[in-house]
Amino acid sequence: MTGTSMPGLVTLGETMGLVTAGEIGSLEYARTFTYGIGGAESNVAIGVSRLGVPATWIGRLGADATGDMIERRLRSEGVTALVVRDGSFTGLMVKHRRFGSALSVDYHRAGSAGSRLRPGDIPQGCVEAAGVLHVTGVTTALSPSACDTVFGAVTRARAAGVPVSVDVNYRRKLWSPEAAGPTLRRLVARADVVFAGVEEAQLVLGADGESSAAALAEGLAALGPAQAVIKDGARGCTARIEGTDHRLAALPAEVVDPVGAGDAFVAGYLAELLAGRSASERLRTAVAAGAYAVSVPGDCEGLPRRPELAALASVQDVTR
């Protein structure tokens, strides 16, 4: 935890071991690998903590070396890790580049400890004391019990007056668009803040490919969230925040590893939201954090700290 007494972020989900092949080409010919951790919610927790805001991550880990590593890593980043040890294995991600910049991510998580998350894993009073509860569509896809845990946490947050943040985070390898759409739409409708990529927003809204980012942000906001942010990669972001439209260009960055950039963006935005900063400041920090993240290999290694953001403080946005 940081030294601040401000209400912090609470999030929950699955964090996995992350194997990354060192060479470009077919995975069978790779001879060097790195081993780290990866998971949308823990990435956000680490990102928020690095920006000086308290963060708590809740999840299940296996009683194995990978689970031990994840717990140690989260605690070393200042994240409060509320861990349930499970009899199943800790999940695994494998990343490799088949050619050029084409990145492939395989998941080994069916039946994992993280997929066995259940509502009782969230301690009483934890969500209720949060400054923001952050959840993602990834966890709703893992299992019925994990989905119930997400919606149960959201219900508790709303009853306590705690703002709910949702990152749609659709994963095609976990479920079909037909299965995901209704669940994600129901989740977004219960959020105060929602983040989505262009295609994710189209999935939630049932919109066609001709919809602009501004129209998608407006559509998401119409479902209920007062803050709807479209993450648009190299094109920056577009948002509808408390009825006002915002647009911010992306920062130039050498893309080394795009995985985790969206989580960095969300962490930057939520850290500033929890710190009480304006919509423009939230978006500037979010864009800067995303730029830092893509420039470093790994899911969370490139998440910036406050001093690293100072050099990018001159970024401007457009508000209408």
- Catalytic positions: 263
How many other CB atoms are there within 10 angstroms of residue 268's CB atom?
31
Report the candidate in 265, 270, 280 with the shortest Cα–Cα distance to residue 317: 280
Give the three-class secondary structure for 106: strand
Determine contact, residues 22/29, Cβ cutoff 8 Å. no
Report the candidate in 19, 87, 9, 92 with the shortest Cα–Cα distance to residue 44: 9
Question: Looking at the DSSP assignment, which residues form a beta bridge with residue 229?
Answer: 195, 239
Question: Looking at the DSSP assignment, which residues form a beta bridge with residue 196?
Answer: 230
For the chain, the straight-line distance linking the first and the last C-alpha, in angstroms and rounded, comes to: 38
Using alpha carbons, list the distances in angstroms from residue 310 to 50, 146, 278, 304, 313: 14, 38, 17, 10, 5
